[in-house]
Amino acid sequence: MCTRVATSAGRPEEHIDPVLQLLVDLTREGAVIAAFQSTHEKFRRYHADLLRLAAVAASDERARDELLRTLDAYAELFHEHHHAEDNYLFPALHKAEPAMDTVVDRLADQHQQLGIRLGELLNQARSIRAAGARDDRVAPLVDALMALRAHVEEHLQLEETVTVPVVQAWNSWPI
């Protein structure tokens, strides 16, 4: 959780990983599950917003621009959340609950697959951004959004089903 480095004055100084410190604090307060579930609900709201905007993006330039901005925000949340899970939650689950190794590995693999799908979707969005909205570019984006939403929802449901009961029982973060 912390490392010691020498300052310019030669004294050691502790640097605490802020994400890990947040998880430790949220776990101690009993709020870590609420934080993860809040993020999962944000994904669900983003999916609804993205699909609503994509439905009119080919004929409405403002909707197209909002779609692309919303997709950028979604991608940022996606990467931040998966980084936290891949680097903190999954290792903690491996450490605290070795019997869950198979399902945790499955969740991590799903993260990789979802990252690939999101990358492809972002490439489609870049081509729309470069060329402007056209039906032949927006329609495949809508299909990709719908597929991503289905895969993300499957992942979220598995994650919520298997990790929530375990993490809810933690009084401290397994470091």
pLDDT of residue 129: 78
pLDDT of residue 61: 86
**% of the chain residues with pLDDT over 90:** 71
Distance in angstroms (rounded) separating the CA atoms of residues 69 and 40: 19
In the DSSP assignment, the letter for residue 99 is G
Q: Which residue's entry shows tokens 């919520």?
A: 160
As its CATH architecture, domain 18-167 has Up-down Bundle (1.20)
**Residue extents of the structural domains in the chain:** 18-167
Higher pLDDT, 2 or 65: 65
pLDDT of residue 17: 87
Task: Determine the average pLDDT of the residues in 23-36.
Answer: 92
Residue 2 pLDDT greater than 90, yes or no: no
Tens-place pLDDT, residues 90-145: 999 999 999 999 999 999 999 999 999 999 999 998 888 777 655 577 888 889 99
In the DSSP assignment, the letter for residue 5 is E
Please say whether the beta carbons of 47 and 149 come within 8 A.
Answer: yes
10 torsion bin: left (phi>0), alpha (psi -120 to 50), beta (else) = left
Higher pLDDT, 154 or 137: 154
Please say whether the beta carbons of 12 and 5 come within 8 A.
Answer: yes
* H or E, element range at 77: helix 61-84
Q: What value does the mean pLDDT of the chain take?
A: 88
pLDDT of residue 55: 87
Residue 175 pLDDT greater than 50, yes or no: yes
**% of the chain residues with pLDDT over 70:** 89
The number of residues in the chain equals 175
Task: Determine the average pLDDT of the residues in 83-87.
Answer: 95
